[in-house]
Amino acid sequence: MDPLKQTFSQFKVSENFISGAPYGSGHINQTYLIKTDGSRDYILQKVNHHIFKNVPKLMDNISRVTHHLRKKIQEEGGNPDRETLTLLPTKDHQAFYQDPEGAYWRMYIFITPTRSYDIVSTPKQAFEGGQAFGRFQDLLDDLPGGPLFETIEKFHDINSRFSLFEKACALDPVNRLKDIEAERNLALKFFPDMQRVLNLGKAGKIPLRVTHNDTKFNNVLLDENDQGLCVIDLDTVMPGYIHYDFSDAIRTATNTAAEDEKDLSKIHCNLALLEAFTRGFLGKVGHKLNPSEWESLPFSAKLLPFTIGLRFLTDYLNGDTYFKTRFPEHNLQRARAQFQLMQEILKLEPEIVKIVESMR
Ligand code: ADP
Ligand code: GN1
Ligand code: MG
């Protein structure tokens, strides 16, 4: 039997399996679209348990988050089957299935027709995505049951990320340190300025919130008219600073080129897209932010391009053990692109301050 059909048969659904095929462009999990003979298709995902070390606790986070969102969306008169992810239980009432090889599988309703963009082309898309991420943040503000489980420890902690980078430089396990002199110098030069958000957090000036932490723009589904619909990819929803969600979305929603663009001259931050995203996002959560969060937000726009660039560079040094890659230099190319974007955003900082201040 088709292994996907076998896995699909573990879940409690009424439709029959027709076909299964890889879907999407995520870097971490294995995602499949399962077509059925019924009115509904499904997304079946194999969760990467080398990266997410405690999948049962991760799935408990996702159950809590999606149940809460479902309840709030219903109260607002929305359609929870389309506006949040819906987990299908297994036949023995679990949130996930573990196969005989030890792999973890989960299944969601396939929300269609929808679009997810790797590159944003219109301010409307950026605005709608901003609203969706802002609304997500707002609806989860009163999540009951205490803090969520930290699915990857110190995920956006820039000190920890920098230490891991230094360790990779010191070990140089696959002899690639020789390739990254320019990027290493950039990392050393910009690292001190990137500690600002973490320092504000440590000083108690900005609160930990329930944040998504992977607000890459292709993690929001827009409908066929480009209206914001549903925030997906909930593996990293856990405590974090609002800046992380803002900056990761700016990293992906405003970049005029692909995340891994080789030609650095094509990489710019589009201010119209930045303005639109920020208007959508802050329109939904601005009222919750404290003065320190407002003041530091514009300076955090460059943080995630730096952090993710540093993570790509570290993975390059480590021999590409974390992110999926398509060719040997892929992580290096991605790191170069992200560092370029970080510097492009830095050039626009005075304008970004004006944009954020105008929304206060
Ligand atoms: P990864 O962690 O690997 O990025 P995602 O959960 O983001 O995996 O899924 C990969 C892609 O699959 C998404 O970018 C989106 O296009 C699509 N996708 C995921 N879940 C759904 C869903 N429930 N409905 C429609 N499309 C989905
Ligand atoms: C990964 O899963 P995906 O592709 O949405 C990564 C993010 C990075 C992103 C870079 C758990 O996100 O942190 O920003 O790649 N997710 C994890 O594209 O590490
Ligand atoms: Mg994703």
The 10s digit of each residue's pLDDT in 328-343 is 999 999 999 999 999 9
DSSP characters over 196-248 = HHHHHHHTTSS--EEE-S---GGGEEEETTS-EEEE--GGG-EEE-HHHHHHH
Contacts of 318 (CB under 8 A, 6+ apart): 168, 173, 174
Return phi, psi of residue 353, to 5°.
-60, -45
Per-residue model confidence as pLDDT tens digits over 250-276: 999 999 999 999 999 999 999 999 999
Q: Pairing between strand 104-109 and 114-115? A: unpaired
CA gap 153, 170 in Å, rounded? 22
Using an 8 Å Cβ cutoff, are 95 and 48 in contact?
no
Question: Residue 234 CA: which ligand is closest?
Answer: 1
Q: Which of 260, 257, 134, 155 is nearest to 198 (CA)?
A: 155
Amino acid identity, residue 113? Answer: P
Atom of ligand 1 nearest to the CA of 29: 3
Domains of the chain, CATH where assigned? 3-109 (3.30.200.20), 123-358 (3.90.1200.10)
Residue nearest to atom 7 of ligand 1 (CA): 233
- Report residue 268 as tokens: 């710019």
CA gap 222, 252 in Å, rounded? 15
Question: In this predicted structure, what is the pLDDT of residue 26?
Answer: 85
Per-residue model confidence as pLDDT tens digits over 9-52: 999 999 999 999 999 988 999 999 999 999 999 999 999 999 99
CA gap 156, 303 in Å, rounded? 10
pLDDT at residue 229 is higher than 90? yes
Mean pLDDT of 220-237: 98
Task: Give the number of other CB atoms < 10 A from CB of residue 173.
Answer: 11
Task: Give the number of other CB atoms < 10 A from CB of residue 180.
Answer: 21
- Report residue 148 as tokens: 């969520």
Residue nearest to atom 15 of ligand 2 (CA): 27
Return phi, psi of residue 223, to 5°.
-85, -175
pTM of whole model > 0.85?
yes
Question: In this predicted structure, what is the pLDDT of residue 210?
Answer: 98
Q: What is the CA(39)–ligand 2 centre distance, in A?
A: 31
Using an 8 Å Cβ cutoff, are 240 and 213 in contact?
yes
Ligand 3 is a single-atom ion; what residues have CB below 5 A from it?
A: 26, 219, 233
Per-residue model confidence as pLDDT tens digits over 54-107: 999 999 999 999 999 999 999 999 999 999 999 999 999 999 999 999 999 999
Amino acid identity, residue 52? Answer: F
**Cβ < 6 A, ligand 1 pocket:** 23-24, 26, 28-29, 31, 43, 85, 108, 110-111, 114, 116, 218-219, 221, 232-233
CA gap 162, 191 in Å, rounded? 8
pLDDT at residue 325 is higher than 90? yes
Q: Which of 13, 228, 238 is nearest to 117 (CA)?
A: 228
CA gap 276, 359 in Å, rounded? 11
